Amino acid sequence: MDAARGKRGVIIEGMSASATATPLRIAVVGSGRVGPVLAAAFRQVGHQIVGITARHDAAIDRVSAVLPDVPVRELADIAQGADLILLAVSDDALADIARELPVEPGQLVAHTSGAHGLQILEPLAARGALVFALHPAMTFSGTSLDIARLQDCAFAVTANPAVLPIAHALVADLGGNPVTIANADRPAYHAALSHAANHTVTLIAQARRLLTAIGQVDPGATLKALVRTAVEGALRAGDSALTGPVMRGDAGTIRAHLAALADIGEGDIEASYRALALTTAERCYDRDVLSDDQLADLTGVLLPPTEVVTTKAELRAALAIRPGRRAVVMTMGALHEGHLSLVRRAKELADVVVVTDFVNPLQFAPDEDFDSYPRDLKGDVELLRGEGVDVVFAPSIEEMYPREPLVRIDPGPVAQLFEGVTRPTHFAGVVQVVTKLLNLTQPDVAIFGEKDAQQLALIRTLVADLDIPVRIVGAPIARDDDGVARSSRNAYLSTEERGHARALVAALDAAEQAAATGDASSPAQLADIAERALADAPGVRVDYVAAVDASTYLPADAATREIILALAAFVGPTRLIDNRRIELEAKEDS
């Protein structure tokens, strides 16, 4: 093959950057808005259009209007006699076209997708085609009016070095400006264009709706000059072109805007306004346009009181716009005053409070109450709103566990004791979900209730052993007026059983009293007193009573002075737990 030419006579090396050396025979796959216009533009500058695909009547009519006398061909025949095959189809259709299109070695094949680079054309390259990407950065109407708009239009070109001059020359033929985009940068390039163009349409459409809602007959005319000036300024100067109340730190005006949006009742517009205003405020702060106090005032106005998210992506987005020290409270929902006490402690320790609301299937055995465990997300959210929680993460099981976890965390020997005897798989499920939620929420501090004392001890060990950078804080047990520890499972109790449940706290009271009076001087004696008190209580069946070392949660020995007296019992069919930290007097040396 000639060193300067491909098989079909197209110059590959040394080609002029301003125009192709010889006219090309071009075939077009796709008869939407883009393909016929580019074909017509190429034909105007001397290239020959040898065929185009069109499947529907509307497509055939468009081809006839823009490309009279160009034959319509099937995909199987489109490449015959062509130097260049231009694939102007949807992003989703490209992969199938690349597999099915018959090509000869040396034929040029280009796609016009902004999202894809060269990988999508790999099947064609493997068959000897010279492939490249050629994306015009403009929107198309699908009419001949678009041809003039190609002048000075940026074209994103991605190609291997040998093919790059051809792609640049083709753009020059159309009067466009070639912009070389690396293959790996193609997604970021397309994201930038989509964000600027598509989302601008959304914003302007929302602004039109607002103006229509207040009686404006021609909202487009009202916006035209302002939007044009803003876009031209942003294209010319970027952030420096910004004006308006956010840049001035005018929190009062922003508050009035939000009130007006709430009154009109366009919820999607309010959400967009909040998100973009927050981003704008952060950009202004980074450029030293806003002070710390101004940013804090704006953030306080713009952040929604409580945002409920259900996916990991939504969680990341919600956390990204909430700077400051972060605390997480992990729950399984069915919230009560005990959970809310954890939330209040979290608010004391952090600027941003995240509450997770997820009934974790991994910590339930097959014969346990996973299906019947109380759930009330709507009620939970109302309670958390009342406490000023910033983010509620309420994922589905499929979101948390897209598949059965292949990597499992071993909770260690403490997990086999006490609660682990009755529920041998429970703590493995707990540490699995806690680790995932710590990774997802990235908190500075995590608050756990001391009622689940064994769980708290295991989580502290987990965080220490795996070097997870979070402070674990235990919050005191919340109790009802009768002393019973608050628990979601209390909802299972009948009125009579609720009275029997008082026996658990009474047993702990008896043991603590014995320690205070000296009637019990060892961990074993404390456990014996509590167990006998439970055994004598009506309607209660003892599961276990244990005195454990408060620092390790291993069984306390005779020398242990700081203990946790933990117990579990069935009240009717409902299993309840409780505990008390008790300090025994130090033994005197004999």
Residue 509 maps to which CATH number?
3.30.1300.10
CA dihedral 316, 317, 318, 320 (to 10 degrees): 80
Task: Report the number of distinct structural domains present in the chain.
Answer: 4
User: Which pair of tokens denotes residue 425?
Assistant: 């798989």
Least confidently predicted of 142-151, 296-305, 414-423: 296-305
Query: Could you give the CA distance from residue 142 to residue 41 in angstroms, rounded to a whole number?
Result: 12
Burial (CB < 10 A; 0-12, 13-18, 19+), residue 484, is buried
Q: Are 51 and 72 in contact (CB under 8 A)?
A: yes
Q: Which of 254-263, 276-285, 484-493, 581-590 has the lowest mean pLDDT?
A: 581-590
Q: Higher pLDDT residue, 541 or 373? A: 541
Co-location of 552 and 414 in the same domain: no
Are 177 and 171 a contacting pair, CB within 8 Å?
yes
279 within domain boundaries: yes
Query: Is residue 127 domain-shared with residue 251, that is, in the same domain?
Result: no
Looking at the structure, do residues 368 and 393 belong to the same domain, yes or no? yes
Residue-range definition of the domain harbouring residue 564: 488-583
142 touches 32 (CB < 8 A):
yes
- Whether the per-residue pLDDT at 142 is higher than 50: the answer is yes
Whether 4 is covered by a domain: the verdict is no
How far is Cα 421 from Cα 427, in angstroms, rounded to an integer? 11
Instruction: Write down the mean pLDDT value for the chain.
Output: 91
Task: Identify the band that residue 371 occupies on the pLDDT scale cut at 50, 70 and 90.
Answer: confident
14 pLDDT above the threshold of 90 = no
Integer Cα distance of 402 and 405 in angstroms: 8
Average pLDDT, integer, range 216-243: 95
Identify the DSSP state of 388: T
Annotated ligand binding at 236? The verdict is no
| The predicted structure's pLDDT at residue 422 | 86
pTM comes to: 0.60
Residue 15 has pLDDT above 60, yes or no: no
251 CB burial (10 A radius; 0-12, 13-18, 19+): buried
**HSE, side-chain direction, 13 A CA sphere, residue 229:** 7
* Confidence grade of residue 5 (pLDDT, cut at 50, 70, 90): very low
Q: Is 500 a catalytic residue?
A: no
Q: Is the pLDDT of residue 587 over 70?
A: no
Known binder of ligand: residue 144?
A: no
Question: CA 158, CA 177: separation in Å to the nearest integer?
Answer: 13
Does a structural domain hold residue 10? no
Please spell the DSSP secondary structure of 209-260, one letter per residue.
Answer: HHHHHTT-S-HHHHHHHHHHHHHHHHHHHGGGG--SHHHHT-HHHHHHHHHH
Q: Are residues 49 and 72 in the same domain?
A: yes
CA 261 to chain centre: 26
Q: What is the pLDDT of residue 59?
A: 81
User: For the chain, what is the total number of helices (H) and then of strands (E)?
Assistant: 21, 16
Residue 332 marked in a binding site: yes
Does residue 579 form part of some domain? yes
pLDDT of 303 reads 81
**Residue (of 476, 578, 489) closest to 537 by Cα position:** 578
Q: 357 has which bridge partners?
A: 331
Q: Quote the CA–CA distance of 507 and 492 in Å, as a whole number.
A: 21
Question: Please, are residues 128 and 105 in contact by the beta-carbon 8 Å criterion?
Answer: yes
Residue-wise pLDDT for 503-551, tens only, equals 999 999 999 999 999 999 999 999 999 999 999 999 999 999 999 999 8
Which region, left, alpha or beta, applies to residue 162 given φ > 0 means left and ψ of -120 to 50 means alpha? Answer: alpha
**pLDDT tens digit string along 409-449?**
999 999 999 999 988 999 999 999 999 999 999 999 999 99
11 pLDDT more than 50: no
Burial of 498 per CB tally in 10 Å (0-12, 13-18, 19+): middle
The pLDDT of residue 214 is above 70: yes
Q: If you average pLDDT over residues 489-505, what whole number do you get? A: 94
Average pLDDT over residues 352-361: 96
User: SS3 for 474?
Assistant: strand
**Residue of 116, 339, 426, 500 marked active site:** 339
Q: Which two tokens stand for residue 217?
A: 């007959």
Report pLDDT for 86: 97
Q: Are residues 311 and 447 in the same domain?
A: yes
Q: Is position 188 annotated in a ligand binding site?
A: no
Task: Mark which of 450, 475, 500 sits at the end of a domain.
Answer: 475
* Same domain, residue pair 418 and 313: yes
Among 181, 202, 221, identify where a domain stops: 181
Query: Which of helix, strand or coil describes residue 288?
Result: coil
Last residue in a domain, options 245, 269, 302: 302
Query: pLDDT tier at 12 (50, 70, 90 boundaries)?
Result: very low
174 shares its domain with 201: no
Q: What is the pLDDT of residue 18?
A: 36
CATH number at residue 353: 3.40.50.620
118 SS3 class: coil
- Whole-number Å distance between alpha carbons of 41 and 146: 9
Q: Is 451 flagged in the annotation as binding?
A: yes
Is 339 marked within a binding site? yes
Q: What number of other Cβ atoms are within 10 A of residue 418's Cβ?
A: 22
Asked if residue 589 has pLDDT above 60, the reply is no
Q: 6 lies in a domain?
A: no
Please tell me whether residues 349 and 461 are part of one structural domain.
yes
- Examine the domain organization and report whether 331 and 409 are in the same domain: yes
Q: How many Cβ atoms sit within 10 Å of the Cβ of residue 65? A: 13
As a whole number, mean pLDDT of residues 27-53 equals: 94
Ligand-binding site membership of 474 (annotated): no
pLDDT band at 64 (very low <50, low <70, confident <90, very high): confident
- The answer as to whether 238 is a domain residue is yes
Closest C-alpha to 488, from 407, 404, 574, 405: 574
Average pLDDT over residues 216-228: 95
Does the annotation place 333 within a ligand binding site?
A: yes
Q: Which stretches of 174-218 are DSSP H helices?
A: 186-213
Same domain, 62 and 177: yes
One domain for residues 543 and 576:
yes
Spatial distance between the Cα atoms of 40 and 34, rounded to a whole number of angstroms: 10
* Domain shared by 121 and 173, yes or no: yes
Task: For residue 109, give Cα distances in angstroms to 106, 182, 222.
Answer: 9, 18, 45
Residue 590 domain flag = no
455 is in an annotated binding site: yes
Please check if 486 is assigned to a binding site.
Answer: yes
